[in-house]
Amino acid sequence: MAEPRRRRAATEEKLTRILDATEEIMLRDGYAGVSSRSVAAAVGIQAPLLHYYFPTIDDLFVAVLRRRSDQSVDRMSVALMSAQPLRAWWKLVSDSRGTALLLELLAAANHRPPLRDEVGKAAHEVRRMQVETLTAILDEYGLDLVEFPPVLIAATMQGLAFAVVADQVAGYDTSPDEAAAAMNRLLARLEKHRAQQLESRQFQY
């Protein structure tokens, strides 16, 4: 019984190394730099063995996305349940490494239908979670759900994070740091207002 367990552990370790290597290549060379040869060389295995685990490059991209999506859902859930949901959310989506990798996956998805389908599923799940939570807490920030619907807040947060990180990574002179600083100031005011609102409601009870 012990031998199969060792094989499974070795397999999981090898899969992790493959996915880690794929992410590093994407961040360094872009998604177009990912090939069976480049990944196999980075891991220190032969290309045929890579195809044993991932028959096609599409399968490899999907596996990278699914792992990242699972992590993102878990982290987003924690962020939205924290003491300062909007600030925690912004910190998560404006993480340069994670967002840069997601941008590469989105770019690859434009040319790979299997990956595009997975991106759609992942985006739907994360947005559902965001909207559900925002619907419950936006009034605590003094925001009207009709004037500022949850889908608008969610799209604005995600879109600005993408734009800021993309320009920071590319080194574009578009003042991304100023945009990020302005967002942080806005969120600080909103979180302060929410804290005051919650404290006031506690005293009322």
Q: What is the pLDDT of residues 47-68, one digit of tens each?
A: 999 999 999 999 999 999 999 9
- Check whether residue 166 and residue 147 sit in a common domain: yes
Per-residue pLDDT band for 5 (boundaries 50, 70, 90) equals very low
pLDDT for position 53: 94
Q: What is the pTM of this model?
A: 0.84
- Check whether residue 10 and residue 74 sit in a common domain: no
Per-residue pLDDT band for 204 (boundaries 50, 70, 90) equals low
Q: Does position 77 have pLDDT exceeding 70, yes or no?
A: yes
- Check whether residue 39 and residue 137 sit in a common domain: no
- Check whether residue 80 and residue 95 sit in a common domain: yes
- Domain containing residue 26: 1-55
Number of domains present in the structure of the chain: 2
Q: What is the pLDDT of residues 139-170, one digit of tens each?
A: 999 999 999 999 999 999 999 999 999 998 88
- Check whether residue 41 and residue 68 sit in a common domain: no
- Check whether residue 45 and residue 114 sit in a common domain: no
The CATH code of the domain that includes 80 is 1.10.357.10
| Sign of the four-CA dihedral 130, 111, 96, 70 | positive
Please identify, among 34, 55, 76, the residue that sits at the C-terminal boundary of a domain: 55
